[in-house]
Structure 1
Amino acid sequence: MDLRQKIAQSPMSGYQWMVVALTFILNMLDGFDVLAVAFTAKSIQTELGLDGAHIGTLMSAGLLGMTLGSVFLAPFADRFGRRPLLIFSTLLSAIGMLMTYFSHSMETIAFWRIVTGLGVGGILPCTNVIVSEYANQKWRGLAIAIYASGFGIGAMLGGMSAVMLQGEYGWRSVFLVGAVLTMLAVVLLMAVLPESVDFLLTKRPANAKTRLDKIVAKMGLSGDWAFPEIEQGVKKAKVSILRLFEPQYRATTLLIWLAFITVMASYYFINSWTPALLEQAGMAKEQSQSVGMAISVGGAIGSLIFGFLASRWTARAVLISFGVLAVGAIFAFLSSSALSVALVFAVLIGALMNGCIAGLYTINPTLYAADFRSTGVGVTIGVGRLGSILAPIVAGGLLDAGWAKDDSYGATAAVIILAVVALFFLKPKVQHA
């Protein structure tokens, strides 16, 4: 039997949901690790005598590391396996958190934040690919949505725990706890994380048959299976970022990059600037913060809503629908005069935008062949991260130039429309388990 198709068409087993749970835990820890500086910024600033620009540098250091990790570490997963790179990247993240605990200057903290970001950047494409490959066709959207929701939940729990830890033990304790939890995750991964099925089928390391037999047994799949036949005379392609621009992938690569950059830019602009823009427009500080919180609440449930809908319709169709609805929700939000109505649309915007991100994570692995899937996914995530880094900065410059709240949100809606257009022309090219 074709093992990929068997996994895609069979019911999800407990073992497969365990793999999904592992990726959720890792993404939750990533949310904690990446935003640890945001949780502790004021305490670090006070102790080291830093100004706002220094704190901004520390926050950007982690995002820079994530971008570099996604682009430059991900290709190693296609050469040596998703499992070893995932373990290595998680260990790297733990080391970065631990060494931040021992740091006493802005420069050393920034360096170890880059290291932490490198680890997280290597984790993201591996977990995205593994959860996509282990989920069946019906529940793939929900599985990736569960995985994607981990980042926000980890950030939320991290913020809550940081408040308690800093008051009693100081800001360094936040990084120590993050390091210990991440190191425990390394042990857990070494004990139970399986290798990617598609990697074993495609690369065929020496013990691939034995490892796949064990995975098949744990999934409870019946019947014999065989490696897919290798076409005679076909030269094995090298793992290279340049493959993304070969004729069969060029348009796909540019379209998914455009979709990622525009969605990430819109999401981070809305999350970063909404409270400040509303306060600037005359809303009370407490009310503007409530609206910002409402967007976060919507975001926490948006990916799960996407997952359930994607189990009934195609992920691409649901994703395009979410993008169109997000544009409508933004204009409805702008026309809201009552706080209660604004809160409703804020929750809706948060849910739809976070659902769009879950949708991108769902379709991204379907665009590239198994032998360089981690490379394609990783580079795309890294490129998309540029949108999240640049959006708040560009928005700040436009606001300084005299742009009003409505202008900024109108531009954001136009950017989302650009993403919808890109997704309309984007077609998944690869079917996998």
Structure 2
Amino acid sequence: MNTTTHAGAETRALLLVFLAAMIEGFDLQAAGVAAPKLGPAFGLAPNQMGLFFSSATFGLIFGSLAGGVIADRWGRRAGLSFALVAFGVFSILTAFAGSFEHLVMMRFLTGVGLGGALPNLVAIAAESTSPDRRGRAVALMYAGVPLGGAIASVVAMMGLHDDWQSIFLIGGILPLLLVAPLFLLMAPFRVSHDAAVPESRLRALFAPGTVAGTLLLWSAFFFGLVVVYMLLNWLPQLLVSLGFERSQASMVQILFNVGGAAGSIVGGRLLDGERPALASAGVFAALIVSLIAMSAVPGGNVGMAILTGAVVGATLLSAQALLYGIAPQCYPAEVRGTGVGLAVAVGRLGSIVGPLFAGALLASGWGPTQVLYSILPIAAICGLTTVALILRRRQTAPALA
């Protein structure tokens, strides 16, 4: 393959996975967008709404595990296609749910599809380019997730959806439209099944050369997603408690996502730079400073809230992009999908713990400022494990390329 052809294939692959990630980000926030109209339509109590929201999160865990295994056994393109079809079909079926039980089951199965997409997206982005550009390739893909979330937030704020069903129909049709271009335009991504493929992929993740990286990666993903989902779920409510109107809090949430998309791209470039460990430490330091600044924003100062919200989003999602960029570089190609899928699944546990932790703090009488301060040590732990992972990666990179 000549240089021009290879560059074209790389561009097509990155464009397709970026679009898929953007659709995933949109679908991940579809339930929140539909909630104000869906709840009254079904007469749901708060605990039922909580179960509806969490059903997709549990589906994400199972999907991440399955998606990684499929990526390694049948190829990245097949794995991503299965995931797109799954969350597309079940999102559409969610719109036709006639009971609460049906609603929860369809949302769980949508989550399985959404979870299965991410390990394949990471693997495709990482393997579509040269090793020295993998960080920015994965980060560019990951930037689509907060951008899709921002689009969903705009839909909610502007009331562009007429009913609760339409958001699920749109979120279901879009991934199905992407399946055919995925097969026609993107070169296959397969791992050859030869003697190099281990008999047990799970055992390979805990081999002497990879076990330290696996444990560090799991820790970083877990604590990182604790922070991400604490803010995604509770930031608007915390801002309202600080004295802002709900419309103003929604605007901050949108800028949080937009800042996150920009920060993701920056994170990837930092990972591919000459001093990624130092740059990563700087990103987490900036995240901690921005969280402190947000806690000090006076009520009613919308401009300052929007600015700090955008900076928090940029630094937080930059940190996440670092992790998603590092993850595929921790494993050889034959177990890369499984390794990334397991790491994402462990991270999803953090996405469950984070909102519950914030809710428990608020229920015990903590104020919004105290809750924001409680995030600081968690972000610091994530930062330390991420820097340790980057330092280790530089020592083992030749063996895992």
Tell whether the structures are fold-level matches, with TM greater than 0.5: yes
1:344 aligned partner, one-letter code: L
Percent identity reads 29
Query: Do structure 1's residue 188 and structure 2's residue 181 form an aligned pair?
Result: yes
Of the three residues 161, 164, 178, the one matched with 1:166 is 161
Of the three residues 171, 174, 179, the one matched with 1:178 is 171
Contact 1:34–1:116 (8 Å) recurs in 2: no
Query: Do structure 1's residue 238 and structure 2's residue 199 form an aligned pair?
Result: yes
Closer, same or farther: CA 90–316 of 1 in aligned 2, 3 Å? farther
Q: CA deviation at 1:352?
A: 0.3
TM score, norm. by length of structure 2: 0.89
Q: Which runs of 5+ in 1 are unaligned?
A: 205-229
Contact 1:32–1:157 (8 Å) recurs in 2: yes
2:23 aligned partner, one-letter code: L
Contact 1:315–1:362 (8 Å) recurs in 2: no
2:180 aligned partner, one-letter code: V
Closer, same or farther: CA 104–159 of 1 in aligned 2, 3 Å? farther
Please identify, of 354-363 and 325-334, the stretch whose mean Cα deviation from structure 2 is larger: 325-334
Q: CA deviation at 1:418?
A: 0.7
Q: Partners of 1:161 and 1:288 in 2: how far apart?
A: 15
Q: CA deviation at 1:337?
A: 4.2
What secondary structure is seen at the aligned counterpart in 2 of 1:361? Answer: helix
Aligned length in residues:
393
1:263 aligned partner, one-letter code: G
TM score, norm. by length of structure 1: 0.83
Query: Do structure 1's residue 322 and structure 2's residue 317 form an aligned pair?
Result: no
Of the three residues 70, 88, 95, the one matched with 1:94 is 88
Closer, same or farther: CA 52–93 of 1 in aligned 2, 3 Å? same
Contact 1:141–1:315 (8 Å) recurs in 2: no
Of the three residues 56, 63, 75, the one matched with 2:57 is 63
Q: Which residue of 1 aligns with 2:146?
A: 152
Contact 2:91–2:110 (8 Å) recurs in 1: yes
What secondary structure is seen at the aligned counterpart in 1 of 2:199? Answer: coil
| Structure (1 or 2) with the larger CA radius of gyration | 1
What secondary structure is seen at the aligned counterpart in 2 of 1:313? Answer: coil
What secondary structure is seen at the aligned counterpart in 1 of 2:210? Answer: helix
Closer, same or farther: CA 341–11 of 1 in aligned 2, 3 Å? farther
Closer, same or farther: CA 285–161 of 1 in aligned 2, 3 Å? closer
Please identify, of 175-184 and 375-384, the stretch whose mean Cα deviation from structure 2 is larger: 175-184
Query: Do structure 1's residue 73 and structure 2's residue 36 form an aligned pair?
Result: no
Contact 1:95–1:179 (8 Å) recurs in 2: yes
Of the three residues 25, 38, 41, the one matched with 2:35 is 41
Closer, same or farther: CA 421–11 of 1 in aligned 2, 3 Å? farther
Q: Which residue of 2 aligns with 1:267?
A: 228
1:363 aligned partner, one-letter code: I
Q: Which residue of 2 aligns with 1:422?
A: 385
Q: Which residue of 2 aligns with 1:302?
A: 263
Q: Which residue of 2 aligns with 1:345?
A: 308
- Over the residues paired in the alignment, what is the CA RMSD in angstroms? 2.7
Q: Which runs of 5+ in 2 are unaligned?
A: none
CA displacement 1:110-151 (0-9 Å, x = unmatched) = 111111111111110011011111122443332222211111
Q: Which residue of 1 aligns with 2:332?
A: 369
Closer, same or farther: CA 412–243 of 1 in aligned 2, 3 Å? same
What secondary structure is seen at the aligned counterpart in 2 of 1:247? Answer: coil
Q: Partners of 1:366 and 1:332 in 2: how far apart?
A: 34
Q: Partners of 2:356 and 2:30 in 1: how far apart?
A: 21
